[in-house]
Amino acid sequence: MSWLSVVGVIVFLVGLMVSIGLHEIGHLVPAKLFGVKVTQYMVGFGPTMWSRRKGETEYGIKWLPLGGYIRMIGMLPPRPTDAPGKVRSVSTGPWQGLIENARDVALEDVRPGDEDRVFYRKPWWQKVIIMSGGPAMNFVLAFILFGVVLMGFGVPTQKTEIASIPQCVKTAADYAKNPECTAADKPSPASVAGLRPGDVIVSVAGRPATSWDVATRAIRDHGAGPIAIGIRRAGQELTVNAGLIAQDRESLDEPGKIEKGVGYLGVSPKIVIEQQSLGAVAAHMGDLTSATAASLLRFPEKMVGVWHAAFSGDERDRNGPIGVIGVSRIGGEIAAAAIPLENKIVVFINLLAGFNLAIGLFNLIPLLPLDGGHVAGGLWEGIKRGFARVARRPAPGHVDIAKALPLTYAIAFLMIIMAGLLMYADLVNPVRLSG
């Protein structure tokens, strides 16, 4: 591994730690605003690298950059009290023992005077805000990072202006053998039609070409045969008749998939770097959020692919799950790549933004021990109290999420197994940007 790769790994890990730290701040700030006692704020897991106490909270960094946490007192309610005059029933079952032990741990930092500072006694809406603050911080950070890329650096944009026209039609294999056109090669439809670099495509088959994507799709959908191409050349509007041919081309919607016999003209767009608007950032964030959410729904299926890649040598899916080790290696690969520094910075920022988006969505899954499980508990408590208010019934007690701990332990166990599988796969068969 080159020194540039090492620098890339370190830079990404620092960005990861900052993201984790901000996630926990998303919990910490509303918790303190609502009066919940927070005894620890930690970034990372394992042994403590550094810590300092300020007031009632210990702030620190741990050695393993695999997450973080804040410790709020009274996350779980105490045991339900038994009726007066009755002996408190005690279950000796294994799950009940774990639940009771978890209750004791949650309340061990409660001191006299802290009765109103425990988490479980806070109004349901405060619980929801506290627990959704972490994922919300990830979303805000992702939006800011995407904004830096799209609004600051800009993105390559395909214009409807023609940049180049191949004089002949060649397959990739033929082009690799001889990039020059020969008498045996078929002339490209664009060159036969008289199109020139600098022409701006304004319509295809009589329909406006508002973007290069629109023009390309119209040409492909038309298939082989004559077609009218409206262009603007030197300020004048012209119509050129071209004879499209059928070609096998890579899908515009599914990279890697080949579409058979689509219409082919033979032109390349002019590409310019354009800074985007705030609305474009929001649209980009929305599209990626939908795509990431869809990927999370297929997470179990994709983990099967990770298993095969780890133990059967199958190729890793670039769009599949990847762990901290794998993402860090990609950071090193980016740093060592022979591309301009500005491009490296853009890729790094995009990588970190996508990581924050994925972590934010993952944490909103309504299962404990994820933040979404606590959010779901708070919302359920709010629904129950709202129904009781409408029905004029006594307010119900706090939702006892401790009852879900058996499921929590099972999910936590699965998460540990999946994390271990990802770490192993990232070591023996990592995702690579280059082939």
Catalytic residue IDs: 24
Going 117 to 121 to 126 to 132, the CA torsion angle's sign is: positive
Indicate the angle between helix axes 324-336 and 341-363, nearest 10 degrees: 170
Which 8-state DSSP code applies to residue 124? Answer: H
Secondary structure (3-state) at 256:
coil
- The H or E element spanning position 37 is none
Q: What are phi and psi of 188, to 5 degrees?
A: -75, 145
**Does a cis peptide bond (omega within 30 degrees of 0) precede residue 123?**
no
Half-sphere exposure of residue 314, counting CA atoms within 13 Å on the CB side? 14
- Two tokens at 105? 């741990």
Can you spell out the DSSP letters for 202-239? EEETTEE--SHHHHHHHHHHH-SEEEEEEEEETTEEEE
Q: Which helix (H) or strand (E) holds 170?
A: none
Angle between helices 124-147 and 278-297 (to 10 degrees): 120
Q: Which residue type sits at 52?
A: R
Helix (H) or strand (E) holding 433: none
User: Are the C-beta atoms of residues 35 and 118 closer than 8 Å to each other?
Assistant: no
∠ Cα 201 204 206 (to 5°): 120
Task: State the alpha helices, DSSP H only, in 148-179.
Answer: 172-177
Cα–Cα distance list, 8 to 146, 342, 348, 370, 427 (Å)? 20, 14, 9, 30, 17
Q: Are strands 225-233 and 236-250 parallel, antiparallel or unpaired?
A: antiparallel
Residue 275: DSSP 8-state: P
